[in-house]
Structure 1
Amino acid sequence: MDTASFADLTRRYHRELQVHCYRMLGSFDEAEDHVQEVFLRAWRSRDAFEERSSVRTWLYRIATNVCLDTLRRTTPPLQPYPDHLLDESPGPDAVAIGRETISLAFLAAIQLLPPRQRAVLILRDVLSWPASEAAALLGTSVPAANSALQRARTTLRERWRGGRLEWAPAAEPDPAERELLERYIAAHEKADPEALIDLLREDVRLTIGPGAGEWTGKATVARALRQDMNTLGQWRMLPTAANRLPAVGAYVRGAGDTAFRPFALVVLTPEAGLLAAMDSFETPGLFAAFGLPESLAPTR
């Protein structure tokens, strides 16, 4: 395989492999780093590739093993994935990324699985690989792979009771979701926690990551919002989309600041006209990946 042919492979499979690594790891930053490692290992072993499997299978084998190596050492923090990059994914995985299996709920649930169970679940139930190919990739027998898959499915059903693998959310929010997003933004920019509380389901869940906390139930979330929503300063928000859900890039202007600075990406889960979940990621470094500006000037 010459340099030009290999460069074509990196262009053709880059986004697809990044999505696969993202599912395995749950981290956007880590996924991109791991794709670079995948292609580095593939280049080094290109002469050993004997074409007994497809190039895609070969690359997925490398990618899965790279991710498994990491997961044996550590669990990266969960991060959102920009929708505009999902829409660039070519190849067979393009169908799968439109499903609920790219949702934050699914990703949080599979993070509870041991690494090899996570891998076999993704290969079989997300990418629809045959049992024999999944087993070969993982270097195990078909019965062992099937056993791991059944254990993974059992855990997933227990931890993600509302999950529906075949459900496909719309690519764009419907009018009701757009209105909900606009009201969410307006409540913050008007410094009105009560207006935001009015948008919440009784069983709403608020998470703030990495590792800041989780609150469940409208009364509990309402107390947190009343206490903390306006302690940082003024809010400005720009709409975006992540993991096939509406999201916002939240900017804060503190006392003495001359501009609004990136603060958090917030992924919203609408359900029946209200918010079922708000997942906030205080990772300003991800704003560029979402195409969001590095600051916002105050309006006059």
Structure 2
Amino acid sequence: MSMAGLIEKARAGDGEAFRELIAPHRRELQLHCYRMLGSFQDAEDALQDTLLSAWQGFHGFEGRASLRTWLYRIATNRCLNARRTASRRPAKAWDIPGVEPPEPTGLGEVVWLEPFPDSLLDGAFNAALGPDALYERTESISLAFVTAMQVLPPRQLAVLILRDVLGFGAKEVAEMLDSTVESANSALKRARAALQRRPPPSAGRKPPPAAHSARERAIVAKFVGAYEAADLDTLVTLLTDDVFISMPPMPLEYQGRDLVARFCAGIFGAERRFDLVATRANGQPAFGAYLRGSDGISHGIGLIVLTLSGDRICAMTRFENSVLSWFDLPRTLPGR
């Protein structure tokens, strides 16, 4: 059936026609909500709210803007509402038994950050980016980028994502936000200036190897071998001088090879040994981390996401084990 026919049926209350219209946009809307909110769970809630609002208000869709633009308008405003009303996850205290962490470099602000599974990126980039897009697709889903976005005021965040990430025009963005072009351009200017004043930790580093390339596989294999063997010396050789560790929702952050080495030495020195299971998050190599138990079973304790710079690791982000199911990773592994 033609697009016009589907729209007519959906306006008349045909749910199947509505679902067919929405399906090509669902994944990219989910990713948009994630960029806006920084939390996978919050993004899923915002997506469901968006789709419900779109269904309930579809009789008012007049086609003056494209269906995609209309949906982005709804999703963006639902995310702005969520940012205003959400009770973010509180910071969590250090909870690794038998390990005393070193004094951190600093305390992170974005403790609600969660990873986004690469398996959900299929279909998230169906639409061509608009001419105003400044960020490469891989950069725009990285943990460093999403984290940096979260410290922007909500409307600045929305304008920057719509303009510089998705490439919508100034007039389109102003209409989405019930604003003027002048106001939207002013918000974009302030957002860009804020990012320049506090660039993410990975700014200015060498580009990472291509995903799934031989170079990436070689780095990952060395990391897995060193981490599973608790080989601190080899692990340290893989790190950049300014390597950065964060652990949301724990706010502790560590920067610099020597300090990160001390942190890992504390983990390994407590006789904690791990098995790693490969996956991908935010376009980056990631691993389910499983602590080997005395019962012969390895228990899932979290997810580690690597950020690569050239042939080195410039950041490691550790998330709680509650995220493992999003990556189809089990809670336990049989002993090796």
Provide the residue aligned with 2:124 in structure 1.
89
Letter in 2 for 1:58: W
Tell me the TM-score normalised to structure 1 length: 0.91
Equivalents in 2 of 1:111, 1:93: separation in Å? 25
Equivalents in 2 of 1:94, 1:141: separation in Å? 23
1:78 and 2:135 matched: no
Provide the residue aligned with 2:300 in structure 1.
262
Q: CA deviation at 1:114?
A: 0.2
Provide the residue aligned with 1:220 in structure 2.
259
Equivalents in 1 of 2:241, 2:209: separation in Å? 25
Q: Is the 8 A contact 1:250 1:263 kept in 2?
A: yes
Equivalents in 1 of 2:239, 2:45: separation in Å? 37
- Any runs of at least 4 consecutive aligned residues in structure 1 with deviations exceeding 4 A, and if so which? 93-97, 161-164, 167-171
SS at match of 2:288: strand
Q: Is the 8 A contact 2:307 2:314 kept in 1?
A: yes
**Count of matched residue pairs:** 295
| Shift in alpha-carbon separation, 1:203–1:91, aligned structure 2, 3 A | same
Provide the residue aligned with 2:36 in structure 1.
24
Which of 183, 186, 199 is 1:144 aligned to? 183
Equivalents in 2 of 1:29, 1:136: separation in Å? 28
Q: CA deviation at 1:58?
A: 1.4
Provide the residue aligned with 1:242 in structure 2.
281
| Shift in alpha-carbon separation, 1:116–1:93, aligned structure 2, 3 A | farther
Provide the residue aligned with 1:286 in structure 2.
323
SS at match of 1:108: helix
1:41 and 2:53 matched: yes
Provide the residue aligned with 1:155 in structure 2.
194
Q: Is the 8 A contact 1:233 1:253 kept in 2?
A: yes
Provide the residue aligned with 2:15 in structure 1.
3
| Shift in alpha-carbon separation, 1:269–1:232, aligned structure 2, 3 A | same
Equivalents in 1 of 2:82, 2:309: separation in Å? 35
Q: Is the 8 A contact 1:193 1:226 kept in 2?
A: yes
SS at match of 2:124: coil
Higher RCO (C-alpha 8 Å, min separation 6): 2
Percent identical residues: 43
SS at match of 1:79: coil
1:13 and 2:25 matched: yes
Equivalents in 1 of 2:129, 2:207: separation in Å? 13
SS at match of 2:303: strand
Provide the residue aligned with 2:227 in structure 1.
188
Q: CA deviation at 1:94?
A: 7.7
Q: 5+ unaligned residues in a row in structure 1: which ranges?
A: none
Backbone CA RMSD of aligned residues: 2.3
Q: CA deviation at 1:128?
A: 0.5
